Amino acid sequence: MNAIPSLLLLRGLTSLTNAPAEGDRGATQEIEARQITIDGQLLQVAIRHGSGSGPPLLLFNGIGANWELAKPFLEALTSTTAIIFDVPGVGGSPRPLLPYRPSTLARLGAGLVAELGYAEIDVAGVSWGGGIAQQFAHQYPKLCRRLVLAATAPGFTMVPASPMVLWKMATPRRYTDKGYMKRIAADIYGGAFRDDPSLIGRHAVAMHGARNLGYLYQLLAMSGWTSLPWLWSLPQQTLVLMGRDDPLVPPVNGHILAGLIPNAEFRMIEDGHLFIVTRPVETAVLIEAFLADASRRVEPSSPLSRMANWVRGLVSTFGGRPDVQAQREGRNR
């Protein structure tokens, strides 16, 4: 069974490390929540209204996570309009009759964007949602301007977590058993959860919304899915963010993504799998700077040359030789 391990964002924990205090990042923008039907599927949608003029950011959340759990990051944004929705079977979105694939969620996301009246967007995905974000960028290259991938991997071809960590993520028990969550949080999330035990209690209290069958559908959606064959073809400028102490998605997966996507850069964050929650301001600053940088240009190249670079990246990544992206990371420090 494949599962890009989850990012389970916390609900309204503005007291977490680096959480934005009032006035720190400007006035908090309104977050509007409503239900919208796309292709016959009712979706619980939240929109964080920003003051900027750039494209909105469509965010794909982690496994089992309802939209409210993304509030720390959403509130840390300064000017970006952000859109997020509960995937079917999670939070406020009813479960569909049948399981779905990443392409289905990408289609729902594109339909939602069209319904809201946008012709161009930026896309971000976290952990499990990072796979959906990759699929969206591949499926709708003209709609997706830039891509942000956080704590994620290229599907079942990822370098996996340890069997012990994967076993603890196989069921949604941590959602329903708070004591169990407190016992395993440091092991599966790493980073700040190792250093500050109080975060575990607040995290456990905030977790809700996962349903057994909805969770299973999310696991099934990614079974057998990989982006590896077509990463070379992604035209978007891409930012890859990874936590240095991430037990769920080892950072090498970020190097693989950034090494194989033609116009990608890699940034390491000194935290664990949940850095977008424990360091929402730092993460928001990096992402908004990337999205707003007008000097970035997609390097023109032919499909043949991009595929050749992809092959070289594969050889470099899996052949044990230092890859180009690792050198980029050193220059970005």
Q: Which residues contact 150 (CB under 8 A, 6 or more apart)?
A: 7, 124, 125, 126, 127, 130, 240, 241, 242, 275, 276, 283
> Are 93 and 24 contacting, i.e. CB atoms less than 8 angstroms apart?
no
> Are 242 and 266 contacting, i.e. CB atoms less than 8 angstroms apart?
yes
127 is annotated as an active-site residue: yes
Beta bridge partners of 238: 147, 264
Q: Which entry of 6, 93, 127, 316 is annotated as an active-site residue? A: 127
Dihedral sign for Cα atoms in the order 284, 31, 150, 270: positive
Longest dimension (CA), the chain: 54
DSSP letter string, 4-22: PPP----SS-TTSTTPPPT
> Are 152 and 253 contacting, i.e. CB atoms less than 8 angstroms apart?
yes
> CA 95, CA 212: separation in Å to the nearest integer?
11
> CA 333, CA 328: separation in Å to the nearest integer?
9
> Are 153 and 257 contacting, i.e. CB atoms less than 8 angstroms apart?
yes
Residues involved in catalysis: 127
